[in-house]
Amino acid sequence: MNILQLINDGADRLRSRNINSSKLDSEILLSKILNKKRENLLTHLDKKIDQKNIDKFYKLILRRSFYEPVAYILNIKEFWSKTFKVDGNTLIPRPETELLVEKLVSIFKKKRINILDIGTGSGCIIISLLSELTDSYGTGIDISKKAIQIAIKNSKRHDLINNIKFINRSFESIKFKKFDLVVSNPPYIKSIDIKKLNKSIKNFEPKIALDGGNDGLDVIKKVIYKAKEILKVNGFLALEIGNGQFRLVSALLLKNSFRIEHITKDFKDNIRCLIAKNITKK
């Protein structure tokens, strides 16, 4: 069997399971097995593959056919032009979150700031920020011990272990520390809506990082309250939010002495990120 035949057969199997990215997924999984770049595969489509690698490929196709995300199968996801280790203990980084990183980098470029990343997961946000804000330092916090272990590995991968401190506990326990920037991609999906999510998400990604309670705002509220307490005056809070949450989250921010400075929309023109300044009088 050659590369073209394998890719097509893998794609057919995935397509039969209603996986929209069937062809791309098949190419990526075969690239993994052969340890070749996808572009290399596509220029050598007639190359024969030995049976051992064929068997390995079909094992990965089977996993994907049960909707396991490709990122978890490979244990790698690209974000901010970097590769991050991920598994079922961390959310898979998404392109929308890169928009938040991009905006924050533009705001704080050439400044020296102290950053707190609440619910750090794989560490992709804080690591990406500090790869650009080279004079700054930060802390990533998460209640998942396994997520923190992955974040530490990712900080080592990107030579930022000395710039970031990772803590395994609830962010609500932080006291007295004054940050210039608090950033968070908290769980914001309503509990009742979890079951409506794509199988790749609801069956594999950590529920604790998805479930935002009855109204989707449980953790967002706590982040806002805590940020008000630990941010410096004129410090910034950057939040990723869900579709349709802008009005309610804006009201919460205003009520807690934050002024919205920037709004970021996603690729579907939905308001996805809010960046607000702490204007609490001391």
Residues (pLDDT < 70) of the chain are 282
pTM over 0.85: yes
Q: How far apart are CA 68 and CA 88, in angstroms?
A: 10
* β-pair partners for 247: none
Q: Domain limits of the chain?
A: 3-66, 76-278
Angle between helices 95-108 and 124-132 (to 10 degrees): 30
- pLDDT of the residue at 175: 85
Whether 117 and 93 have beta carbons less than 8 Å apart is answered as: no
Angle between helices 3-15 and 22-34 (to 10 degrees): 130
3-state secondary structure 187-240: CCECHHHHHHCCHHHHCCCCHHHCECCCCCCHHHHHHHHHHHHHEEEEEEEEEE
175, containing H or E segment:
none
Q: How far apart are CA 266 and CA 103, in angstroms?
A: 12
Among 206, 267, 208, 263, which residue's Cα sits nearest to residue 240? 263
260 vs 92, 142, 221, 279, 280, CA distance in Å? 27, 26, 16, 10, 13
* Strand duo 231-240 + 179-184: pairing: parallel
- pLDDT of the residue at 282: 59
Q: How far apart are CA 4 and CA 271, in angstroms?
A: 41
- pLDDT of the residue at 88: 96
For domain 76-278, give the fold: Rossmann fold (3.40.50)
Q: How far apart are CA 124 and CA 181, in angstroms?
A: 16
DSSP 122: T
How far does Cα 143 stand from its chain's mean position?
16
For domain 3-66, give the fold: Helicase, Ruva Protein; domain 3 (1.10.8)
HSE, CB side, 13 Å, CA atoms: give it for residue 12.
6
Query: Which residue has tokens 């996805």?
Result: 272
Amino acid at 200: S
pLDDT tens per residue across span 181-209: 999 999 999 999 999 999 999 999 999 99
